[in-house]
């Protein structure tokens, strides 16, 4: 259950427990948890009152929204695993002249912890004092984060950590059929040997491990379904000095999945759409206007490529074919996109001018179908659009012989380079005659707004050349 991932990694990535352990021999808990160090030889079982404990139930819904954050999986075998000594040395160097100063790291850590705490508090997630943590954690929490000890820990955990670890261990042994919270360990499952792992086999068995900087050797013994790496701050000199093989972090992610992605039961994937109803009296009489309204709303909502649409063509044998294209213009004449006139879609359209467009705005639970007939746009219109594109895209259109097999990527790159050279003086790049636009003139629109429990509102508008012919209303159920 990766639900806690965004917060866990926000804490972990910029605030690795390993970075803040003052010496490889102290039993210091991760400062991300704001726990004071335990007394070295506890004389009694009296527990100090802690401001926070590592048991944080998380909201599944929120986590699901952030699932995409770190989906690029890397093979665990390709990733360097650190010994305790190397990990400690890297920490020292990170805090030395090579990387960050202690002040910077503390500031990063403080900021990320403060942000994580503020976010959790704004979600009404309670922070408990250690004595208020229930004895049995199995029923009240969805997820438990174990971030007590970093890689520098060794020896026998003292109070209150020994007791907390025991409670996590008892969770690990509950059968998989019974309800229990998932355990997420940060860097090292608390109580594990940094290099040997769970030596006597009686330790915490986390469902997820978030390694920091690079996985420590004990991570090889981790058998849970989710392994992530956080800590996108390792400078190049350290990477090369320790010959660290680390996976690339996708986009701006602060974490990346390593190891196998969990297998998913596709049939169990379902979202409950919660969105405003599409009421008849709110729909604009002209479907073009309704489309523009929804399109503008998709743009305002900041959706990525709201103009991406699936285009389905059908050849003369009746074989359909779909692909994505980008909408480049819409008005009462129709929907325009640009492509290569030698492509498969162009071939289909030359045989059969009927086609369908499909917009899907996932985040808004909306879909729009548009069906109609397609014609090439006038040459001047294609010319005008071609020259409005960035020069790189203009060259790309010349190079790309769409829907054909090429001898190799290098051929494409070489031709592109040659053209780049040829037009490096800034002279006009001529539009190739095999490139241009198409316009679909709609005969049917369907606006779909998802609702809860698979219900949805559908508004269909059929158009003939004179007027909107019929408006159908459906509120129906889909599978
Ligand atoms: C998001 C997205 C947008 C695309 N936009 C276009 C486009 O505007 N024009 C185009 O020719 N191909 C576009 N493509 C590539 C097409 O999907 C397709 O691979 C290509 O046009 C060849 O299709 P065909 O062989 O069926 O003709 C896009 C692909 C994606 C994923």
The answer to whether the CB of 373 is under 6 A from ligand 1 is no
Candidates 307, 313, 319, 402: which one to mutate for ligand 1, based on the most atoms within 8 Å of Cβ?
Answer: 402
Query: Is the C-beta atom of 337 inside 6 A of ligand 1?
Result: yes
Each residue's pLDDT expressed in tens, for the chain with a length of 479 residues? 222 222 222 222 222 333 222 222 222 333 222 333 333 333 333 323 323 333 333 333 333 223 333 344 455 667 889 988 888 888 778 777 666 676 776 676 667 667 777 777 777 877 788 888 888 888 888 888 898 887 777 788 888 899 999 989 988 776 655 678 889 999 999 999 999 999 988 899 999 999 988 999 999 999 888 899 987 778 888 889 889 999 988 888 888 888 777 677 777 777 777 777 788 788 898 999 999 999 999 999 999 999 999 999 999 999 999 999 999 999 999 999 999 999 999 999 999 999 999 999 998 999 999 999 999 999 999 999 999 999 999 998 888 877 777 778 888 888 899 989 999 998 999 999 999 999 999 999 999 998 877 677 888 988 865 445 445 555 555 43
In order of 4, 210, 244, the CA distances from 226 in angstroms are 12, 8, 21
Q: String of b and e for 135-172 (b: at least 16 CB within 10 Å)?
A: eebeeebbbbbbbbbbbbbeeebebbbeebbebbbebb
Q: Which atom of ligand 1 is nearest to the CA of 344?
A: 27
| Ligand 1 atom having least distance to the Cα of 348 | 27
CA 358 / ligand 1 centre spacing (Å):
14
Identify the CATH assignment for 2-38+47-266 out of 2.40.50.100, 3.40.50.10260, 3.40.50.300, 3.40.30.10: 3.40.50.10260
Rounded Cα gap, residues 95 and 469, in angstroms: 72
Ligand 1 pocket member 339 (CB < 6 A): yes
Question: Domain residues of the chain, as ranges?
Answer: 2-38+47-266, 280-477
Which of 305, 308, 321, 324 best tests ligand 1's pocket when mutated (most atoms within 8 Å of CB)? 324
Note if 454 is an active site residue. Answer: yes
What is the residue whose two structure tokens read 């198409």?
A: 438
2-38+47-266 and 280-477 have identical folds: no
Catalytic residue, from 270, 323, 454, 458: name it: 454
Centroid of ligand 1 to alpha carbon of 375 (angstroms): 18
**Ligand 1, residues 339, 351, 376: which to mutate, most atoms within 8 A of Cβ?**
339
β-strands 334-340, 455-463 pairing: unpaired
Is 343 a pocket residue for ligand 1 (Cβ < 6 Å)? yes
The superfamily in CATH containing domain 280-477 is Electron Transport, Fmn-binding Protein; Chain A (2.30.110.10)
CB 234 within 8 A of CB 246: yes
d(CA 14, CA 231): 6
219 close to 211: Cβ distance less than 8 angstroms: yes
338 contacts 396 by C-beta, under 8 angstroms? no
């Amino acid at each position: 259950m990766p639900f806690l991932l965004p917060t866990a990694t926000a804490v972990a990535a910029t605030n690795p427990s390993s970075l803040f352990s003052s010496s490889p021999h102290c039993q210091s808990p991760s400062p991300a948890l704001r726990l004071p160090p335990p007394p070295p030889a506890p004389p009694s079982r009296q527990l100090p009152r802690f401001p926070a404990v590592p048991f944080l139930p998380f909201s599944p819904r929120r986590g699901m929204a952030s699932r995409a954050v770190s989906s690029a999986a890397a093979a665990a075998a390709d990733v360097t695993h650190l010994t305790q000594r190397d990990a400690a040395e890297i920490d020292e160097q990170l805090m030395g002249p090579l990387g960050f100063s202690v002040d910077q790291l503390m500031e990063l850590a403080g900021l990320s912890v403060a942000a994580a705490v503020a976010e959790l508090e704004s979600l009404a997630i309670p922070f408990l004092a250690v004595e208020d943590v229930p004895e049995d954690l199995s029923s009240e929490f969805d997820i438990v984060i174990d971030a007590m000890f970093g890689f520098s820990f060794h020896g026998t955990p003292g109070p209150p950590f020994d007791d907390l670890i025991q409670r996590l261990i008892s969770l690990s042994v509950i059968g998989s059929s019974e309800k229990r919270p998932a355990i997420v360990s940060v860097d090292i499952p608390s109580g594990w040997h940094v290099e040997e792992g769970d030596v006597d086999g009686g330790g915490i068995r986390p469902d997820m491990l978030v390694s920091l900087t690079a996985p420590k050797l004990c991570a090889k013994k981790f058998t849970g379904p989710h392994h992530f790496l956080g800590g996108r701050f390792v400078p190049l000199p350290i990477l090369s000095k320790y010959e660290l093989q680390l996976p690339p972090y996708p986009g701006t992610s602060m974490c990346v999945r390593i190891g196998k992605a969990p297998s998913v039961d596709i049939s169990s994937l379902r979202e409950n759409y919660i969105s405003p109803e599409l009421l008849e009296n709110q729909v604009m009489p002209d479907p073009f206007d309704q489309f523009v309204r929804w399109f503008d709303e998709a743009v305002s909502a900041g959706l990525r490529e709201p103009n991406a649409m699936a285009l389905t063509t059908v050849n003369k044998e009746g074989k359909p074919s779909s692909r994505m294209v980008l909408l480049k213009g819409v008005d009462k004449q129709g929907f325009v996109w640009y492509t290569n006139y030698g492509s498969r879609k162009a071939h289909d359209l030359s045989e059969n001018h009927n086609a369908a467009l499909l917009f899907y705005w996932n985040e808004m639970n909306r879909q729009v179908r548009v069906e109609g007939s397609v014609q090439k746009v006038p040459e001047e219109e294609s010319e005008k659009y071609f020259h409005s594109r960035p020069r790189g895209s203009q060259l790309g259109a010349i190079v790309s012989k769409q829907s054909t097999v090429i001898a190799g990527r290098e051929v494409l790159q070489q031709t592109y380079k040659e053209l780049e050279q040829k037009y490096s003086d800034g002279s006009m790049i001529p539009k190739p005659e095999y490139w241009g636009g198409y316009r679909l003139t709609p005969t049917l629109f369907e606006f779909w707004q998802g609702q809860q429990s698979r219900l949805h509102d559908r508004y269909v508008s059929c158009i003939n050349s004179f007027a909107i012919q019929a408006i159908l209303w459906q509120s129906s159920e889909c599978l």
